Amino acid sequence: MAEEDNITISISGTKFEISKDTWSCIESNLQEKHGTKETSQLYKVTKSGDLFFERHPNCFPVVLGYFQNRGLHMPSSLCPSEFNDEMEFWGITPDKMENCCYSRYVGFFDDQNVLKILDNDQTARKNERKEIEERTRGTGWKAVEAKVWSVLEEPSSNIGAKIYFYVSAAFVIVSISALVSGTHKTFKRSLNLEEWQEFFGDEFDTYKAYFDGSDLSNTTMPPLPKTATHLDFLVYIEYITVTFFTIEIVMRMVFCPFKKKFFISFLNLVDIFALLVMYSKYVVNAINPKDKYQASVFDIVHCLQIVRVFRLFRLVKNYIGFRVLLYSVKASAIEVMLMSMFLVVAMLMFGAFAFFSGDTVFESIPDAFWWAIVTMTTVGYGDVYPTIGLSKLVGAVCAVTGVCLLAVIIPIFVNNFLLFYAYSKVWGSSINENENEKKKSTSSVSPIQVKEKSSSSLPSKSKNTDENI
């Protein structure tokens, strides 16, 4: 047992003593990673013969543990991203990690990857806004375009834009309110004489007696159809909002600096479609005036008006909470599919079980599906419910299973949302505002080893991650 077997390694001043064998392992690994020549550049030999590395001292015990055959574990006190950088330097790939720590490692970088999406989106929005702003300072058509566009789209850019935003929001609210209230009987009235004439057209003479005050008691006239029309002010509101939205969409189309993106935007397509529906309704009414007054609630044109409801999203699209929810849904696409699959399979099973249980309240399996879904979500309307012992058992199991199934998937989805939501608070703080400046200042303060951050071998789905972490 001679001391000469040992080599002292100083990691930023913290001394580690290792056997020569261990050192040769480490050295050969470093050479494999950085090349034989470059490896000797990585450390200095001090007077006393120590090998001096300017690395993180708390990470080296992990490296030691790995080369002394004690397995690669990630200490929980280190940020996985920092740990990843160090392991990279020492030439240890993450797939060497023990399973107990590896799932935490993978989880961390998965989370970072989804946060990346938010960051990219946020950055893209910021860049776009910046470009518009720059163009505004220019001259010519581009500048006009940018100026008008910032009024139309960037409520925070100037006072005019803010006013415009509130006006536009008011129109959206009025338009949706009109749609909603127009279906309620409070906002309907019976037809007047003129409208009845228009309604009946040539047949008006048949019904004439109703309107000229004749005695109706002894006639065998066909009864008046139950027809109602919107109150007049709703009609006027509709005309006004349609006009406004038409003008707006035309302006937005003309002044949009990114024409291509414009036509693939969901909200723009909704706007255009909603207007087309309105105009086609006017055309149809003009051709066949009778339709106008009929309770033709469910003809196709009428139903398509539902797209007007999507204009709601114009009000909330800039709200950070809403964007976070949207991205959570996107990031959890696979979990949402999983939940749907679970629910569909469970619905099929319990629906079939309930039907074959012999309970006659379930007229067919498709009918039983509705019951199963209502039970699994614990809504329990009570329109259908088991009435015999066997089906009650199926119902009880169905309810408990439903609660469990939903409880199983929702946390994954919710965790994504909470992660995104917590992360979205970072935007409010100063860090991202001057991100570029930060990068510069960092390098100005510590200009020593501005080597390229070597591309890390993360198990990341997209290579984008490397830029940020």
- Using CB under 8 A as the binding rule, the residues of this chain from 388 to 407 that contact a copy of itself are 392, 395-396, 399-400, 403-404, 406-407
Quote the least distance from Cβ 42 to a copy of itself, whole Å: 11
Q: Position of tokens 């065998």?
A: 220
- Closer residue to a copy of itself in complex, CB, 216/303: 303
Quote the least distance from Cβ 221 to a copy of itself, whole Å: 27
CA Rg value for the chain = 35
Q: Which helix (H) or strand (E) holds 6?
A: strand 6-11
Footprint of a copy of itself on residues 273-312 (CB under 8 A)?
297-298, 302-303, 305-306, 309, 312
Quote the least distance from Cβ 148 to a copy of itself, whole Å: 29
Footprint of a copy of itself on residues 340-399 (CB under 8 A)?
341-343, 345, 348-349, 351-353, 355-356, 358, 363-367, 370, 373-375, 377-383, 385-387, 392, 395-396, 399
The whole-angstrom distance between residue 48's C-alpha and the CA centroid of its chain comes to 59
Contact 353, 427 (CB under 8 A): no
452 binds a copy of itself (CB under 8 A): no
Among 426, 456, 464, 466, binds a copy of itself (CB under 8 A): 426
57 binds a copy of itself (CB under 8 A): yes
- List the one residue out of 64, 56, 107 whose CA is nearest residue 86: 56
Quote the least distance from Cβ 258 to a copy of itself, whole Å: 27
Among 36, 38, 46, 156, binds a copy of itself (CB under 8 A): 46
Q: CA dist 362 to 148, 253, 375, 379, 412, Å?
A: 60, 54, 14, 18, 34
- Closer residue to a copy of itself in complex, CB, 57/257: 57
119 binds a copy of itself (CB under 8 A): yes
Report the b/e string of 345-381 with b at 16+ CB within 10 A.
Answer: ebbeebbbbbbebebebbeeeeebbebbbbbbeeeee
- Closer residue to a copy of itself in complex, CB, 7/132: 7
- Closer residue to a copy of itself in complex, CB, 216/422: 422
Quote the least distance from Cβ 279 to a copy of itself, whole Å: 19
Quote the least distance from Cβ 301 to a copy of itself, whole Å: 12
Residue type, 315: L
- Closer residue to a copy of itself in complex, CB, 102/262: 102
Q: Cα separation of 249 and 311, whole Å? A: 13
Quote the least distance from Cβ 423 to a copy of itself, whole Å: 5
Which two structure tokens, joined as six digits, stand for 461?
């789905």
Quote the least distance from Cβ 361 to a copy of itself, whole Å: 10
DSSP-based three-state secondary structure for 382: coil
Quote the least distance from Cβ 210 to a copy of itself, whole Å: 26
The string of DSSP codes covering 11-41 is ETTEEEEEEHHHHHHHHHHHHHHH-HHHHTT
Contact 246, 254 (CB under 8 A): no
Which two structure tokens, joined as six digits, stand for 184?
């309620």
210 binds a copy of itself (CB under 8 A): no
Report the b/e string of 113-147 with b at 16+ CB within 10 A.
Answer: bbbbebbeebeeeeeeeeebeebbeeeeeeeebbb
Angle at Cα 310 formed by Cα 127 and Cα 256, nearest 5°? 35
Among 166, 221, 431, 463, binds a copy of itself (CB under 8 A): 431
Q: How many helices (H) and strands (E) does the chain have?
A: 21, 6
Using the rule CB under 8 A, give the single segment among 135-143, 203-211, 233-241, 316-324 that binds a copy of itself: 316-324
225 binds a copy of itself (CB under 8 A): no
Among 44, 189, 261, 463, binds a copy of itself (CB under 8 A): 44
Among 35, 36, 38, 107, binds a copy of itself (CB under 8 A): 107
Footprint of a copy of itself on residues 9-38 (CB under 8 A)?
9-10, 12-19, 21-22, 25, 28-29
Residue type, 440: K
Among 31, 33, 34, 106, binds a copy of itself (CB under 8 A): 106
Which two structure tokens, joined as six digits, stand for 41?
């550049």
199 binds a copy of itself (CB under 8 A): no
Size of site (CB under 8 A) for a copy of itself:
162
Q: Position of tokens 């720590």?
A: 101
Footprint of a copy of itself on residues 66-105 (CB under 8 A)?
66-71, 73-82, 85-86, 95-103
Q: Cα separation of 363 and 359, whole Å? A: 9
- Closer residue to a copy of itself in complex, CB, 40/206: 40
151 binds a copy of itself (CB under 8 A): no
